[in-house]
Amino acid sequence: MPLLLWQVPTRPANIAALVDWKTIGALAGLMVLSRGLEVSGVIDRAGRAALRGLRTERGLAVALVLFAAVLSAIVTNDVALFVTVPLTLALSRLVPLPLGRLVILQALAVNAGSAVSPVGNPQNLFLWQVSGAGFGEFVLAMLPLAAAMLAILLALVPLAIGKQTLTLSEPTAPLPLNRRLMAVSLAAYPLFLLLVNAGFAVPAAGAILALYAVAFRAVLRWLDWPLLLVFMLMFVNLGLLGQLPAIAAAMPAALALPGGVFSVGAVLSQAMSNVPAAIFLAPFTEDWRALAWGVSVGGFGLAIGSLANLIALRLVREPGLWRQFHLWSLPMFALSFAVGALLLAS
């Protein structure tokens, strides 16, 4: 940031204005509520129920993909991975499983599933706030792409996972169910989304933080507070970067290339990840839908394309996992890019 401030001299008040505080407020509230649901034990029990009665590895893979995709649309993609991957690791200790491929499929699933929801991932949350679109409008705009990406992933499952028979039992005792925390989190979640949708993200986040500080202080201690700081710095750095004369002059020509903002968003995500790509490109276009589609597709491809990919790969220590990941993620990128371009053109 110091180098950028030297290139683009900016007053302190203007630096603070580069941060999208509505997005920061919405992210903070969602982090608290998602962690509340996770700690309450309700998500763990829902996952176990989804996997109960499965008889083949392929059936397990499909169930994990669907559960991870749906969960990521509700409580964000990283929380979905922190639930499903440890559960898969526990299952692999009971029966032989293609662990690496199952985790890779889950990483791809949360990228596909989270794309449909304004709260599924940070880039959607940001674009939802800056677009001014309603919750339902955003979902309808993202639904064709998200459905197509999930369909592509499900079509790849038979190529990745065989039909070997398995017998699953409860890998470990389920998390204790904190009914009070569960009830408060479930009740507060839709109310918070309604307030964010109405434009009250910051005061709603303040109310959520105050509620949990009084009633469930331990939840706040377990939050990834540095992540909020990272996002604030990201807004500042990318805002200053976009103000550099050379960058500002080059962007209109780049966005005029075939595929426009969709292509640029997808490709740029491969270099800087999809959240920074969305933040960087947003000031240069009003076509938030094409940008959201581009950075959603950009979550596939190289591992850096999405933070979810890096989380999944770090949760499992398996030799050659990064190479395996790209064997599946790069085709997902190519197929999703082609389908997304066709859908946008239709």
- What are the pLDDT digits (tens) for 268-324? 999 999 999 999 999 889 999 999 999 999 999 999 999 899 989 988 878 899 999
Residue 14: what pLDDT?
Answer: 64
Helix (H) or strand (E) holding 344: helix 321-345
Q: Which amino acid is at 110?
A: V
| Token digits of residue 273 | 């990840």
The predicted model gives 30-39 an average pLDDT of 89
The string of DSSP codes covering 226-262 is HHHHHHHHHHHHHHHHHHSHHHHHHHHHHHTSTTHHH
Average pLDDT (163-172) is 72
Q: What is the pLDDT of residue 237?
A: 74
Alpha helices in 115-259 (DSSP H): 122-131, 135-160, 179-197, 201-215, 217-221, 225-243, 245-255
108: tokens are 């791809």
Please give the pLDDT value at position 170.
62
Query: What's the whole-number mean pLDDT along residues 160-169?
Result: 81
What mean pLDDT comes out for the span 248-258?
73
Which whole number is the average pLDDT over 37-58?
A: 83
Distance CA(10)–CA(336), nearest Å, equals 40
* Percent of the chain residues topping a pLDDT of 70: 92
Model pLDDT, residue 175: 72
Report the chain's mean pLDDT, rounded to a whole number: 88
Span 13-22, mean pLDDT?
Answer: 76
pLDDT of residue 78: 87
Residue 251, pLDDT above cutoff 90: no
Give the model's pLDDT for residue 6.
44
List of residues 6+ apart from 326 with CB closer than 8 A: 302, 303
Quick one: average pLDDT of 63-78? 92
Return phi, psi of residue 165, to 5°.
-75, 145
**Residue 308 corresponds to which amino acid?**
A
pLDDT at 4: 46
pTM, 2 dp:
0.86
Residues 323, 335: Cα–Cα separation, whole Å? 19
Confidence category of residue 43, pLDDT binned at 50, 70, 90: confident
Query: Which is nearest to 121 in space by CA: 325, 287, 269?
Result: 269
- pLDDT band for 339, please (50, 70, 90 cuts): very high
